[in-house]
Amino acid sequence: MIQIIPAIDIIDGKCVRLTQGDYNQKKEYHSNPVEVAKMFEDAGIQRLHLVDLDGAKKKQIVNHQVLRNITAATKLAVDFGGGLQSDEDLKIAFDSGANQITAGSIAVKDPGKVQHWLTQFGTEKIILGADTKSGMIAVHGWQETSDLSIQQLMNQFIPFGISYSICTDVAKDGLLQGPSFDLYKQLGEEFKQINWIASGGVAEFSDIEKLNAMNIYGVIVGKAFYEGRITLKQLAQFNA
């Protein structure tokens, strides 16, 4: 059964969504992320994807207090990402209650550091953020595109036991036009040892059902929920 992982993206301590990672296309949905997290928990959802968009821009953890508030008020297993660049960032994230962290840009800029984190913290604690733009990995809140393909990125971490990866097709994100099913099918076949978490483009409940049928490990749901196209009741079906 696919894992349902709602997303809360944070700017200035508030719950927002961007379109295709564009900070100029920001829409605020809620001023209190803790209330949103409690709503997910009350519906029976067990996980949360929390993104520090201020941190992604600043290249260091910023909204750790929001993480601390959510993990204090709920029992949600939170994976936290956005700008995590240093050992100190990870210490703050885990001390603030994160269950896992997502290593995105740093995995491209300093793969040795993330390989060290996998050894230090364990493969259950580190998710590889593999965000693609026209087949290449995008970094720093998708404001830059690297010269690395997703396959090249994965092959740097497979020997170190990486077992979780969030893959976002930037071209799909926030557009409510459906996920990149072909991409996830291809990655699932190429890297069977990875628990793939699909992110970006989910527009309706049938998209989640299709990903579930593909045996994708998890799906991040953001804008479709906030825009009322998918209900909490529907999401909760996968957590029964």
Distance (Å, rounded) from C-alpha 126 to C-alpha 128? 7
Catalytic residue from among 52, 54, 131, 207: 131
Q: Are 34 and 25 in contact (CB under 8 A)?
A: no
Q: Is 131 a catalytic residue?
A: yes
Using DSSP bridges, classify how beta strands 136-139 and 126-133 pair: parallel, antiparallel or unpaired.
Answer: antiparallel
Q: Is 22 a catalytic residue?
A: no
Sequential DSSP letters for 161-179: T--EEEEEETTTTTS-S--
Q: Are 50 and 56 in contact (CB under 8 A)?
A: no
Task: Report how far Cα 90 is from the mean position of its chain's Cα atoms.
Answer: 16
Catalytic residue from among 9, 89, 169, 207: 9
Long-range own/partner contacts, residues 228-236 (CB < 8 A, 24 or more apart): 229/176, 229/203, 229/204, 230/202, 230/204, 230/205, 232/39, 232/40, 232/43, 232/45, 233/43, 234/205, 234/208, 235/4, 235/6, 235/43, 235/45, 235/208, 236/4, 236/43, 236/44, 236/45
Tell me the catalytic residues.
Answer: 9, 131
